[in-house]
Chain A
Amino acid sequence: MIEYNDYISKLKGRTEPIDYGMMFEAIEQKIAKQKAAQNKVVFRGALAGALSIFIVGLAFYLSYPAMRGGNDQMLSYIYGQPEITDGPVIDYVFSD
């Protein structure tokens, strides 16, 4: 019968050689990959932020004259002209 203590001794003795140098290289490669992926995310975030700031700025720029009442200025220009009450055109229209 396998005794519990024998089993534990077998587990304690269970070590296999490993190439630590190769393992370290593999770990470093994974770290580099993770860093590259992280940088990609940061870059994409920054790009999305810059783009949204640009779009908001553009929208604000395009709607700025309307917000300042630019249309009112145009209308007041049209309706602010002196009324034409006489002249050759008026004479022609009203003469039979």
Chain B
Amino acid sequence: MDFTQIYNENKENVWKLVSRYVFAREDREDLFQEVFLNIHKALPRFRGEASVSTWLYRVTANTAINYLKRRDRHRRIVDVLANLRIVEAEEPTEMEAGSLERPLAKLNPRQRMVLILSDVEEKKLEEISEIMGLPVGTVKSNLSRAREVVKKELMKIDRI
């Protein structure tokens, strides 16, 4: 399978998923590029055990979760350093401050991905389980927790 062909056939789907997962423009572009770099790296090892689509979703989901974990870790370090007045605090970007990301920001990276795959991308629980390499029960519990948190946050936004 040719990398260029994979890119041309899947760029829209990857961009859509990435755009729903992270909100700041530079994050989306960085993540989009990182997904395809990982696809390029993993391509020689792809043996066709799963369908191409599932495999692509898996690489995208794993890359996105790791990206968010790394970004959050970086922010925590910057916050600590800013509190100690070693560096200046980072300004939140316009999109992050918007109401769309606020509820999702309360979820951990895995819950966020499960919610998006299930409710936004409309994937079945079994598919999500295959994509994320998690038992169906774990997917279900992550999903119900994520929905609960988002609903609570939406109520808070409404009160403001």
Where the two chains meet, the residues of A that have a C-beta atom closer than 8 Å to any C-beta of B are: 1-4, 7-8, 10-12, 14-16, 18, 20, 23-24, 26-27, 30-31, 34
Measured between beta carbons, the chain A residues less than 8 angstroms from B147 are: 4
Q: How far is the CB of B36 from chain A (nearest CB, A)?
A: 5
Smallest CB gap from A12: residue in B = B120
Count, chain B residues at interface, CB 8 A: 26
B120 touches A16 (CB 8 A): no
Q: Bound state CA distance, A4 and B120, in angstroms?
A: 12
Q: How many CB-defined contacts (below 8 Å) exist between A and B?
A: 55
Smallest CB gap from A16: residue in B = B19
Stretch of B44-52, B62-70, B134-142, B150-158 at the chain-chain interface: B150-158
Binary A-proximity of B97-117 (CB < 8 A = 1, otherwise 0): 001100100000000000010
Q: Bound state CA distance, A10 and B36, in angstroms?
A: 26
List 28 interface pairs A-B (beta carbons < 8 Å), by A numbering: A1-B154, A1-B155, A1-B158, A2-B154, A2-B157, A3-B154, A4-B147, A7-B100, A7-B150, A7-B154, A10-B100, A11-B100, A11-B116, A11-B120, A12-B120, A14-B20, A14-B100, A15-B15, A15-B19, A16-B25, A18-B32, A20-B15, A23-B11, A23-B33, A24-B7, A27-B33, A27-B36, A31-B37
B126 within 8 A of A: no
Measured between beta carbons, the chain B residues less than 8 angstroms from A10 are: 100
B33 touches A14 (CB 8 A): no
Using A14-B19, A14-B100 as known contacts, say yes or no to A2 and B158 having CB atoms under 8 A apart.
Answer: yes
A15 touches B16 (CB 8 A): yes
Sample of 8 more A-B contacts, CB < 8 Å, known A4-B150, A7-B154: A2-B157, A3-B154, A4-B154, A11-B100, A15-B16, A18-B29, A24-B11, A30-B37
Q: Bound state CA distance, A20 and B33, in angstroms?
A: 10
Measured between beta carbons, the chain A residues less than 8 angstroms from B40 are: 27, 31
Smallest CB gap from A18: residue in B = B15
B36, B151, B158: most-surrounded residue (chain A CB, <10 A): B36
Measured between beta carbons, the chain A residues less than 8 angstroms from B103 are: 7
Measured between beta carbons, the chain B residues less than 8 angstroms from A23 are: 11, 29, 32-33
Within 8 A of A (CB), among B13-40: 15-16, 19-20, 25, 29, 32-33, 36-37, 40
B119 within 8 A of A: yes
Measured between beta carbons, the chain A residues less than 8 angstroms from B7 are: 24, 27
